[in-house]
Amino acid sequence: MKTAFTRSRLARPLAPLALAAALAGCSLAPRYERPAAPIDAAYPSDAAYARDAPEKPDEPAAANIGWRDFFRDPLLQQLIAISLDNNRDLRRAALNVEAAQALYRIQRAEMLPNLSLAASGASERVPAELSATEAAYVGRRYDVAGVAAAWELDLWGRIRSLSDQALASYLALDETRIATQLSLVSEVANAYLTLRADQELLRLTNDTLAAQKHSYDLTAQLAAAGNSTQLDLRLAEITLRNAEANHAAYTRQAAKDRNALVLLLGQPLTPELSRQLDAATTLPDGIVPPDLPGGLPSELLTRRPDIRAAEQRLRGANASIGAARAAFLPAISLTGSAGTASASLDGLFDSGTRAWSFLPRITLPIFRGGSLLANLDVAHVQKRIEIANYEKAIQSAFREVADGLAGKRTLDEQIRSERLSVAASLDAYALAEQRFKEGMDDYLALLEAHRTLYGTQQILVRTRLTRLNNLIDLYKALGGGWTEHTVQSADGA
């Protein structure tokens, strides 16, 4: 009986703590439900989106194709690797993730008791008027608290909700870092191809300039012999000067393209890289795969890091509602210490100097001028804002993928037609030059034929660049570029 009675007495003071611990798992945050995706269940399928070949069942998703496997140019692979190590935007995104992780650890620590070791000493002179013995005295007190604890009981999940919010912020920034990497990979590839396209246009302009110089010299000889007019000579000179102006413009543009690439790399070009870029005077058509598996729109929710980041921000806003609701309810904090106390420093650890304190505290908000209700309203509004941001991210991703799919087939058809146009323009220019030399046509016909040829050649280079940029943007839109080598998906393994 004595043992049972003793256990009963010991259990009474522990009962409130057990109840508090049980309630600590409570949360007033609304149950999170992912909003429905405001997009169609499939991508558009009209004539612009016709596929050349069906997707293979074991084909890896575009998001799982590593950038080294997607980009087949060794020089581009080297440039991408350098940018991933040195780009300042990506470095800043990584540092933001580290800072958010530290903030999450700080907030999560609020859920645990704070333990510390404290020591203090105090001296006080009490005048006779205030002394119980009517004699002035000097009082001294020395304390050592071996354990000092402070803990707020998270009865309503306020601290847990704030911790969940900090975790969601950390995860959102980590997804943003991945999205930054995807953007960087595609930007480096686009900048590299733009440089090569402009250098091909510069080479084309050099050939045109040489041809115009030859044409001008020929026209001058004919004019001197009386077989051509001064008008033909002036038209030839105008064409020559235009070619010189185009040469200067493309030289300037190629230099600006290189500067843009250096900025993305985050470091100056080495002499070897500079030499390789100087030699890259053609635009490679087979640098990326011509086909990418589009998959289903619903797969974007898990493969696009920007969508995942938007959902994490939505989860954080949902947790903020729980913290705002809990602020209306009582807050209980426990503060205590155990140690020794003495009136003299040398007697601090003598027998009988044990001391302890226990200070429970409950706070119930009564009047805050409506700030608590306003804070809850703000939390609800912020959640609606994040829902809109999440839905907009999904819609933007859907549009980017649909645009990329529309360009796959139509750009290939456009390039085929433009190649035939260039071939026809070459034949027309050769015929016009022959007829001009034989005196059958004036210089105007030759000039028009050359303008047409030069224009179709420029258009073809730009369209080829647009096709490659479209494939790269589609690769990014499908979530590709986050890994270096291809990751086999679970359903395709």
SS (H, E, C) the chain: CHHHHHHHHHHHHHHHHHHHHHHCCCCCCCCCCCCCCCCCCCCCCCHHHCCCCCCCCCCCCHHHCCHHHHCCCHHHHHHHHHHHHHCHHHHHHHHHHHHHHHHHHHHHHCCCCEEEEEEEEEEEEECHHHCCCCCCEEEEEEEEEEEEEEEEECCCCHHHHHHHHHHHHHHHHHHHHHHHHHHHHHHHHHHHHHHHHHHHHHHHHHHHHHHHHHHHHHHHHHHHCCCCCHHHHHHHHHHHHHHHHHHHHHHHHHHHHHHHHHHHHCCCCCHHHHHHHHHCCCCCCCCCCCCCCCCCHHHHHHHCHHHHHHHHHHHHHHHHHHHHHHCCCCEEEEEEEEEEEECCHHHCCCCCCEEEEEEEEEECCCCCCCHHHHHHHHHHHHHHHHHHHHHHHHHHHHHHHHHHHHHHHHHHHHHHHHHHHHHHHHHHHHHHHHHHHCCCCCHHHHHHHHHHHHHHHHHHHHHHHHHHHHHHHHHHHCCCCCCCCCCCCCCCC
Q: What's the mean pLDDT in 28-47?
A: 89
Which one of 77-91, 144-158, 283-297 scores highest in mean pLDDT? Answer: 77-91
- Alpha carbon 258 to its chain centroid, in Å, reads 24
pLDDT (tens digit per residue) in 426-477: 999 999 888 877 778 877 788 888 889 999 999 999 999 999 999 999 999 9
60 pLDDT band, cuts 50/70/90, is confident
252: CB partners within 8 A, 6+ apart: none
Q: What is the pLDDT of residue 165?
A: 93
377 pLDDT band, cuts 50/70/90, is very high
Q: What is the pLDDT of residue 17?
A: 45
The two tokens of residue 429 are 């220019």
Q: Is the separation of the CB atoms in 335 and 362 below 8 Å?
A: no
Q: Write the burial class of residue 478 (CB in 10 Å: 0-12 exposed, 13-18 middle, 19+ buried).
A: buried
Q: What is the pLDDT of residue 11?
A: 42
Q: What is the pLDDT of residue 57?
A: 62
Which one of 22-26, 431-435, 489-493 scores highest in mean pLDDT? Answer: 431-435
Q: What is the pLDDT of residue 2?
A: 41
8 pLDDT band, cuts 50/70/90, is very low
Q: What is the pLDDT of residue 475?
A: 94
Q: Are strands 354-363 and 331-342 parallel, antiparallel or unpaired?
A: antiparallel
Judged against a pLDDT cut of 60, whether residue 264 lies above it is answered with: yes
Q: What's the mean pLDDT in 398-409?
A: 91
What does pLDDT average to over the chain? 86
Q: What's the mean pLDDT in 173-198?
A: 96
Q: What is the pLDDT of residue 55?
A: 61
Q: What is the pLDDT of residue 12?
A: 44
Q: Is the separation of the CB atoms in 158 and 323 below 8 Å?
A: yes
The two tokens of residue 397 are 């991703």
Say how far apart CA 327 and CA 157 lie, in whole Å.
Answer: 10
pLDDT (tens digit per residue) in 303-329: 999 999 999 999 999 999 999 999 999
Q: What is the pLDDT of residue 54?
A: 59
Q: What is the pLDDT of residue 489?
A: 57
Judged against a pLDDT cut of 50, whether residue 5 lies above it is answered with: no
Q: What type of residue is 230?
A: Q
Q: What's the mean pLDDT in 364-371?
A: 86
192 pLDDT band, cuts 50/70/90, is very high
Q: What's the mean pLDDT in 466-492?
A: 86
In this predicted structure, which of 2-16, 75-89, 404-418 has the lowest mean pLDDT?
2-16
Q: What is the pLDDT of residue 140?
A: 79
Q: What is the pLDDT of residue 201?
A: 95
Q: Write the burial class of residue 5 (CB in 10 Å: 0-12 exposed, 13-18 middle, 19+ buried).
A: exposed
Q: What is the pLDDT of residue 16?
A: 46
Per cent of the chain over pLDDT 90 is 52
Judged against a pLDDT cut of 90, whether residue 220 lies above it is answered with: no
Q: What is the pLDDT of residue 51?
A: 57
Judged against a pLDDT cut of 50, whether residue 491 lies above it is answered with: no
In this predicted structure, which of 97-111, 374-388, 428-442 has the lowest mean pLDDT?
428-442
282 pLDDT band, cuts 50/70/90, is very high
pLDDT (tens digit per residue) in 226-262: 777 788 788 888 888 988 999 999 999 999 999 999 9
Q: List b or e across 69-108, with b for residues whose CB sees 16 or more CB atoms inside 10 angstroms.
A: bbbebebbbebbebbbeebebbeebeebbeebbeebeebb
Q: What's the mean pLDDT in 364-374?
A: 88
Q: What's the mean pLDDT in 264-275?
A: 95
> Residue 393's CB: how many other CB atoms inside 10 A?
20
Judged against a pLDDT cut of 70, whether residue 19 lies above it is answered with: no
